Structure 1
Amino acid sequence: MKNNSFVNILFLLPLFMLSACGQNKQSLDIKKTPSNNTINKPGNPYYSNTDTTKLKLSEAQWKKVLPEDVYLVMRKAETEIAFTGKYWNTDQKGTYYCASCGNLLFRSTAKFSSSCGWPSFFEQENKKSVVYKNDFSYNMERIEALCGRCDGHLGHLFDDGPPPTGKRYCMNSIALDFIPDSK
């Protein structure tokens, strides 16, 4: 019986790692425009920190403009490996945007250390910045968090966060772009 328990633990460990969220493997070609706190992404005409128009692009269009690792996470709902992303353990002040379309998602004032290996936030920027979908993948019942502008996969929403919301937006670092506050 003890052998079965060990085998069950080995089987469930990867599922546990998937149940939280995701992280980043490579840095993206992002250029910050110093004059106005926007990000310029050459080759992605759909990226804007100011346009909130809902995007309806085909998978072929997204595949053309997103790096492969970003495409796999944001369009195919892949998950980064825990503790590998660039934002999971940072406390720098600033603003987080969707890595696919530039939509404003979170402020650093809503970020907290959850020790899950992915960046976690207790609230989104506004009601429309993040939308939700039931996710029954991997034989689990979760709530998938999607960008409110492009419907890109960001991570998942859990009910184990701190006050005042009790929520934990567990996000893939690679799904986020970050602009630090001006000094």
Structure 2
Amino acid sequence: MTIANGDRQGDGETAAAPIIGPEPVPIVLWVNGEARPLTVEPRTTLAAALRGPLGLTGAKIACNQGACSACTVWLDGLVVPSCSILAIEVGERKITTIEGLATDERLHPVQEAFIAHDAVQCGFCTPGLVMSCAALLARNQYPDEEEIQTAISGHLCRCGTYPHVVQAILALAEEEGD
């Protein structure tokens, strides 16, 4: 069977994959529980779409290669680097950004713990660290130090606030256990 320009069908016809672009295309992203229609070039990353047309600047673009985790968001509850995903590939999956963690003007408990334990230095990596730690606590309400270190291991913090992050999450888990 020869495959050219798509998969060969049983009747000898070729199924061609749709070609998208190079012109901008309309998409809808489900961000923080809300449908957000926008038009993007097919090469636009999720991070760029969130920060640009949607004005959600919490996810930071640092390395733009998925190596530092400053752009961390949740995609259907999974922690992902938003700079490594094209916006047009997201489809109907649910995106949660740092802006979506707080509710009714109240910070998320992880955000409060970061403040209380001085886990914020320059703040560039903080949103990504908060997203990873909140995801960890959603999976495991009482993580130990090793599990916290594993959860934040992909984050690059130039200020070295890692020990404060671990302390913050351990203290939060202890509070929840009381």
Bigger proportion of residues as strand:
1
Bigger proportion of residues as helix:
2
The structure whose Rg is larger is 2
TM over 0.5: no
TM-score normalised by L of structure 1: 0.26
TM-score normalised by L of structure 2: 0.27
